[in-house]
Chain A
Amino acid sequence: DSGVTQTPKHLITATGQRVTLRCSPRSGDLSVYWYQQSLDQGLQFLIQYYNGEERAKGNILERFSAQQFPDLHSELNLSSLELGDSALYFCASSAGQVSSYEQYFGPGTRLTVT
């Protein structure tokens, strides 16, 4: 158990819909990262927040957005969903904000868009 929690575990929704994925970091960690994992693309970095502020952006679509709240939990919002958005979405947390800090991953949310 990494100490990072993600809900829900599974999500099935239709094209065009909007969903929200939730992540609680390890106790004391200030950074939260979101990743998308698909069979063909591997693990892709989406976005990072540090203590409530956006720190880095990766290959995140404009239809996707995220935020980190004062209690440090984070939400990833996916809108106008397409079939190709079906993937595993992971949240990770670390104590610091630079990449050399060890990242701890949650169990993931499996999103299926039908």
Chain B
Amino acid sequence: TQLLEQSPQFLSIQEGENLTVYCNSSSVFSSLQWYRQEPGEGPVLLVTVVTGGEVKKLKRLTFQFGDARKDSSLHITAAQPGDTGLYLCAGGSNYKLTFGKGTLLTVNP
């Protein structure tokens, strides 16, 4: 069974701060995706990374896939209240995505 561990589980910060959340596994994935989910809604895809060591930037968000394709990180610069939500990572293998339990981020104004 492939497991994805996300840390921290909860994170509460002030507007303007930087933060990094992590997604770790003992398994190798062919791809890794990050999603953001707001209460009562479906997850929204943020990014897909497929190459070990790959770095992708999406405005203030920076995503990195580990060299061994077992882990990933999401860094947010100058967080804003609109960044509040549940951040989920999902590892892809063949036909399945395995999701971590997420990091619940709260950005206070």
Cβ of A52 under 8 Å from chain B: no
Q: Chain B residues with Cβ under 8 A from A56's Cβ?
A: 94-96
Q: Chain A residues with Cβ under 8 A from B100's Cβ?
A: 42
With known contacts A99-B31, A99-B94, A2–B99 Cβ distance under 8 A: no
Cβ of A55 under 8 Å from chain B: yes
Smallest CB gap from A6: residue in B = B42
Q: Are B44 and A100 in contact (CB under 8 A)?
A: no
- B2 → chain A, closest Cβ, in Å? 11
Residues of A38-58 whose CB lies within 8 A of B: 42-45, 48, 50, 55-56, 58
Contact with B along A72-114 (1 / 0, CB 8 A): 0000000000000000001010000111101111111010000
Q: Are B45 and A104 in contact (CB under 8 A)?
A: yes
Smallest CB gap from A104: residue in B = B45
- B89 → chain A, closest Cβ, in Å? 11
How many A-B pairs with Cβ below 8 Å? 66
With known contacts A42-B100, A43-B99, A45-B96, A2–B30 Cβ distance under 8 A: no
Cβ of B75 under 8 Å from chain A: no
If over half of A's interface residues share one DSSP class (helix, strand or loop), that class is named, otherwise mixed; here it is strand
- Count, chain A residues at interface, CB 8 A: 27
Cβ of B50 under 8 Å from chain A: yes
Cβ of B88 under 8 Å from chain A: yes
Among A33, A100, A107, the residue within 8 A (CB) of B50 is A100
Q: Are B30 and A42 in contact (CB under 8 A)?
A: no
Among A90, A102, A106, the residue within 8 A (CB) of B33 is A102
Q: Are A107 and B41 in contact (CB under 8 A)?
A: yes
- B56 → chain A, closest Cβ, in Å? 13
With known contacts A42-B102, A43-B43, A107-B41, A102–B48 Cβ distance under 8 A: yes
Among B41, B45, B93, B99, the residue within 8 A (CB) of A102 is B45
Instruction: Give Cα A50–Cα B96 distance, bound, in whole angstroms.
Output: 12
